[in-house]
Amino acid sequence: MKRSKINEIMAAAEDLIHHYGFVLPPFANWSPDQFKANAPAAARVISGRCGWDITDYGQGRFDQMGLFLFTLRNGLLSDLQRGGGMCYAEKLLISRQDQLSPMHTHAIKAEDIINRGGATLVVELFGSDDLGHCAPDRGGVVLCDGIARPYAAGDKLKLAPGESVTLMPGDWHAFWGEGGDVLIGEVSTVNDDETDNIFREPIGRFAEIEEDVAPTHLLVSDYAAWLG
């Protein structure tokens, strides 16, 4: 993706987030130079990979297959492993109309996916086979706003604003906006986007960046190169 395109997506995302009454934390507004200056104090932001995250899954078709994310907070895997402490994470996401976030599951993370505003969020579901692979003929049970809901393989949940689904490891899912763009909340156990996203197809989690202009804000995938 071109950096200029990423900057445009950030600006449009801020407008949508503000439209629905959410405000991003102060570090969201830092320029790259400000982030460098504040890096020592922001060590937990950096190590937790909190911040801006825009991906086309390495496919170069963001409008058709992509996702905007902002990680607001993220706990520690060490706390999760010992069973106490900061074991949670929270994100804001935006699915554009008909923009696919492709079929995937997680080995560790359980998550609530919440329609925070906008159009309808469609979530397509499959269960896992005995080896943990996406099973084309197996369903399962999820919680929708705390209510148990069985699903058959390939069922598509349609979540209106305010509605949510709880997805456990092994619940394979893809999602997109129907009828317009959707602001999504994600509340989960500790988030590890580098190792805990298991895609059905062999695709990447992060975009490759073409530096045609300077970044407005750093992406989480920029931290290693820009902040050292």
Task: Give residue-wise pLDDT tens across range 126-155.
Answer: 999 999 999 999 999 999 999 999 999 999
**pLDDT-derived band of residue 109, with 50, 70 and 90 as boundaries?**
very high
Between CA 55 and CA 66 the distance in angstroms is: 5
Q: Is the pLDDT of residue 182 over 90?
A: yes
**pLDDT-derived band of residue 228, with 50, 70 and 90 as boundaries?**
confident
Q: Is the pLDDT of residue 51 over 90?
A: yes
| pLDDT confidence of residue 206 | 85
**Beta-carbon-side half-sphere exposure of residue 114 (alpha carbons within 13 Å):** 13
CB atoms within 10 A of CB 81: 12
* pLDDT, the chain, mean: 96
Q: Is the pLDDT of residue 175 over 90?
A: yes
Domains assigned to the chain? 3-227 (2.60.120.10)
| pLDDT confidence of residue 32 | 97
| pLDDT confidence of residue 194 | 86
Between CA 165 and CA 186 the distance in angstroms is: 10
**pLDDT-derived band of residue 61, with 50, 70 and 90 as boundaries?**
very high
Residue of 185 and 77 predicted with greater confidence? 185
Q: What is the token pair recorded at 214? A: 């300077």
**pLDDT-derived band of residue 120, with 50, 70 and 90 as boundaries?**
very high
The position carrying tokens 């073409």 is: 210
**pLDDT-derived band of residue 181, with 50, 70 and 90 as boundaries?**
very high
